[in-house]
Chain A
Amino acid sequence: MYNCSDLKKGLKLMVDGDPHVIVQYDFTKPGKGQALYKCKLRNMITGALFDRTYRSGESFEPAHLEERSMQYLYQDDTGYVFMDKKSFEQITLTEDTIGDDKYFLIDNMDVEILMFGERGIGISLPNFVNLRVTKADPWVKGDTAAGNSKPATVETGYTLQVPSFVEEGGLIQIDTRTGEYATRVKE
Chain B
Amino acid sequence: MHHNWQLARRQPAIKKRARILHQIRAFFFNQGFLEVETPHRIPVNAPESAIEAVASGDWFLHTSPELCMKRLLAAGYDKIYQICRCWRAHERGARHLPEYTMLEWYHRGCDYRQLMRDCEQLLRFLTEGREKIHWQGHSLDLTLPWPRLTMTEAFDRYSSIPLKKISCPDHLSERISTDIEPNLPKNKPVFLVDYPSLQGSLARPKADDPAFVERFELYLGGMELANGFSELTDPQEQHRRFQHEEALRRAAGKAPLPLPEPFLKDLEHLGCAAGIALGIDRLVMILCDASTIDDIVCFTPEQT
Contact = CB atoms under 8 A, between A and B. Distances in A.
Most chain-B Cβ atoms within 10 A of its Cβ — which of A28, A31, A182? Answer: A31
A140 interface: no
B208 interface: no
A165 B50 contact: no
A163 B7 CA distance: 11
A17 interface: no
B199 A27 contact: no
Interface in A17-51: 26-36
A35 B217 contact: no
A4 interface: yes
B93 interface: yes
B57 interface: no
B6 to A, nearest CB: 7
A36 B217 contact: no
A183 B50 CA distance: 40
A26 B136 CA distance: 17
A146 B172 contact: no
B96 A32 contact: no
A57 interface: yes
A26 B292 CA distance: 12
Contact of B227 (A5, A32, A57): A32
Interface residues of B, number: 36
Contacts of A165: 1
Nearest to B91: A29
B181 interface: yes
B11 interface: yes
A109 B293 CA distance: 35
Contacts of B96: 27, 29
A57 B253 contact: yes
B126 to A, nearest CB: 21
Interface in A88-102: none
B154 to A, nearest CB: 13
Contacts of A35: 50, 90-91
Nearest to B15: A147
B174 A33 contact: yes
A7 to B, nearest CB: 10
A146 B90 contact: no
Contacts of B253: 57
B227 A180 contact: no
Max chain B C-beta neighbours (<10 A), residue from A33, A56, A146:
A33
A56 B51 CA distance: 11
Nearest to B10: A147
B200 interface: yes
B177 A33 contact: yes
A138 to B, nearest CB: 17
A180 B92 CA distance: 19
Given A57-B252, A57-B253, 7 more contacts: A26-B94, A27-B91, A31-B277, A32-B50, A32-B173, A147-B11, A181-B5
